[in-house]
Copies of this chain bind each other. A is one copy, B any other.
Amino acid sequence: MPQVTPLRQQRTNCSDCRLATLCLPENLDDVAVNDLDGIIKRPRPLDRGAPLFHSGGDFRAIYAIRTGAVKTSRLLPNGDEFVSGFYLPGEVIGLDAINYNNHPTTAVALETTSVCEVPFSDLEKLSLNRPALQRHMMRIMSRELATEQTLNQVLVHRSAEQRLAVVLVSLSDRFGNRGLSPKRFRLPMSRHELGNYLGLAPETMSRIFRRLEKQELVCTDGRDITLLNQTELRLLAHGESEVPLRSGRA
């Protein structure tokens, strides 16, 4: 009698994951990939709104998004929320927890989301003997760091309109890298969340979206976005003067 693969939780592994080029180092041999595969857990998908980890919670693993989207945020005692990031398939969350051994942020699924859970102690052991893996970890963190710094400058030195342009371009690039259309996509987050991330009031978000539509740069239908003029939008995002902003996490 042939073994039946359960429908819900079909056996997935790194070697035939579409996202491997984003997640994994280039020159990791098959043996190493298998070892890595061995330590990775693939929990059942999270429903919209379900937490992946909580701010202040113990750090045990880092997570790679497989499908869906996740937002990270800090929740203040008074109820205020500061959204610190949005993560798409192929991107890695939790690296900011390594040093203090607990998560500075809360991570929540924005839609049905499946992740690969990589226990960090296992990963550390594994990467001791694997230069490619060790280097890969450093690279991911280095890239995150550069991205955060770029974001800082965008948020601090750019107008509301430019900030929105920057995220739209970033999302476009990231969707594009994942084989989706860079021109048409659906925002996984609300305008409120996006505004919070950019430090803008929801009302401002609305107005800016409308302004971009008037300039015929984008077209919106709720969360559905169409980029009408990518060249101009990029010019706006990068501040005319062709700023070498590296946008996007991956």
Contact = CB atoms under 8 A, between A and B. Distances in A.
Interface of A: 74, 76-78, 80, 82, 84-85, 95-100, 104-105, 124, 127-129, 131, 134-135, 137-146, 148-153, 155-157, 198-199, 239, 241-243, 246
Contact of A153 (B84, B98, B129, B134): B84
B152 A84 contact: yes
Contacts of A95: 141-142, 145
A104 B151 contact: no
Instruction: Give the interface centre of A131, A142, A148, A157 by most chain B CB atoms within 10 Å.
Output: A142
Contacts of A140: 99
Contacts of A155: 152, 155-156, 199
Contacts of A242: 77
Nearest to A141: B141
Contacts of A144: 145
A99 B146 contact: yes
Contacts of A151: 152
Nearest to A82: B153
Contacts of A142: 95-100, 141
Contact of A78 (B143, B148, B241): B241
Contacts of A124: 131, 134-135, 138
A96 B243 contact: no
Nearest to A59: B142
Given A84-B149, A96-B149, A155-B199, 5 more contacts: A76-B239, A77-B242, A95-B145, A124-B138, A151-B152
A25 to B, nearest CB: 12
A82 B211 CA distance: 27
B138 A98 contact: yes
Contact of A82 (B85, B104, B157, B198): B157
Contacts of A82: 153, 156-157
16 contacts: A74-B153, A76-B239, A76-B241, A78-B241, A82-B153, A95-B145, A96-B142, A96-B146, A99-B140, A104-B150, A124-B131, A124-B135, A128-B134, A137-B138, A138-B138, A141-B141
